[in-house]
Amino acid sequence: MLLQSPLANFAQMIGRYLAEIWDFLIFIGQVSGVIIVLAGAILWFTETNQSRGKGLVFSGILLSIVVEYFIIFPPSFVIA
C-alpha cells in the first residue's frame, strides 16, 4: 500500500470534485442546447418572431457544438 502525503490526498480530492462539477456542467450544457433549439424552432416556425427564432436555433446549435468539443477533448482534471 502506497502512503501519500496529506497534500497529495487533498489535490486528488479537489480533482474529483472538479470532475464531478465538470460532468454536471456538461449535462447542463447539453440540456440547455436542446431547449434553446426547441424554443427557437417554435418561435421560428410559428412565425411569432422569426428573426429571434432563427438566432436561438443557430446559437443553440453553436452551444451544442462547443459542448460536444469539450466532451471529446476534456480538460486534464477529468482525464486523470
Domain range for residue 60? 26-72
Does 53 reside within a domain? yes
Q: Is 4 helix (H, G, I), strand (E, B) or coil?
A: coil
Distance between the two ends of the chain, CA-based, in angstroms?
Answer: 20
Does 20 reside within a domain? no
Q: What average pLDDT does the segment 7-22 reach?
A: 88
User: Which among 6, 11, 19 has a CA at the least distance from the CA of 78?
Assistant: 19
Does 60 reside within a domain? yes
Does 13 reside within a domain? no
Question: Domain total for the chain?
Answer: 1
Does 5 reside within a domain? no
Q: Identify the weakest region by mean pLDDT among 13-17, 26-30, 68-72.
A: 13-17
Q: What average pLDDT does the segment 24-28 reach?
A: 96
Q: CA–CA separation, 24 vs 36, rounded Å?
A: 18
What one-letter code names the amino acid at 10? F
Does 79 reside within a domain? no
**pLDDT band at 12; cut points 50, 70, 90:** confident
Does 54 reside within a domain? yes
